[in-house]
């Protein structure tokens, strides 16, 4: 049996911890992990920082970065665009500029934590399909731009409409 990408990542993290190093440099340690394991890895990294270890983590999941980092550095093309505590640095304006895509940053209404999300309407979807309670959702609409060149004739999706909003 072989290890999955997430299992390999967790094994690598365990090796780092077993070495007892006081400096941890983690590049995307949560990649290929489910939510439970993402949280476990970052909780452990945070615990290492609490006991005095230097912990540097590169994350593309900005909500995770905001939740676990004491200090964040936001890079744009290799240049520092923002540096400081997440609440001060991770603003909609800065992140929209850096990612060149509209980003919304808001406080979770119950927990007060920062949540970072792309503004998906900008992607050409005027109306996100939201299920109405008690109404059946047509799952075919989630297949975007499938046409004859990327779906074989024997594939049951072959006869689906190309429009993502068509029923």
What token pair was written down for 41?
A: 């890895």
Quick: pLDDT tens for 109-145.
999 999 999 999 745 554 444 444 554 444 333 333 3
| Cα distance between residue 56 and residue 54, in whole Å | 7
pTM for the complete prediction?
Answer: 0.70
In sequence order, which residues have a C-beta less than 8 Å from that of residue 25 and are 6 or more positions away?
56
Quick: pLDDT tens for 82-104.
999 999 999 999 999 999 999 99
pLDDT > 70? residue 49: yes
At 137 the pLDDT is: 40
How far is CA 147 from each of CA 28, 120, 129, 160, rounded to the nearest angstrom?
35, 23, 21, 8
Q: Are 137 and 148 in contact (CB under 8 A)?
A: no
What is the arithmetic mean of pLDDT over 22-29?
Answer: 96
């Amino acid at each position: 049996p072989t290890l999955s990408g997430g299992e390999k990542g967790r094994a690598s993290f365990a090796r780092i911890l077993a070495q007892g190093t006081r400096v941890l440099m983690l590049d995307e340690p949560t990649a290929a992990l489910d939510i439970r394991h993402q949280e476990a890895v970052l909780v452990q990294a945070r615990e290492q920082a609490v006991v005095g270890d230097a912990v540097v983590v590169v994350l593309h999941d900005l909500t995770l970065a905001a939740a676990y980092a004491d200090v964040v550095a936001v890079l744009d093309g290799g240049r520092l665009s923002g540096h400081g505590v997440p609440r001060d640095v991770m603003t909609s304006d800065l992140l929209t500029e850096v990612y060149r895509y509209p980003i919304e940053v808001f406080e979770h209404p119950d927990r007060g934590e920062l949540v970072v999300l792309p503004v998906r309407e900008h992607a050409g979807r005027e109306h996100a399909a939201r299920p109405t309670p008690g109404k059946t959702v047509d799952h075919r609409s989630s297949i975007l731009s499938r046409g004859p060149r990327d779906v074989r004739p024997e594939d049951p999706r072959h006869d689906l409409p190309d429009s993502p909003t068509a029923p």
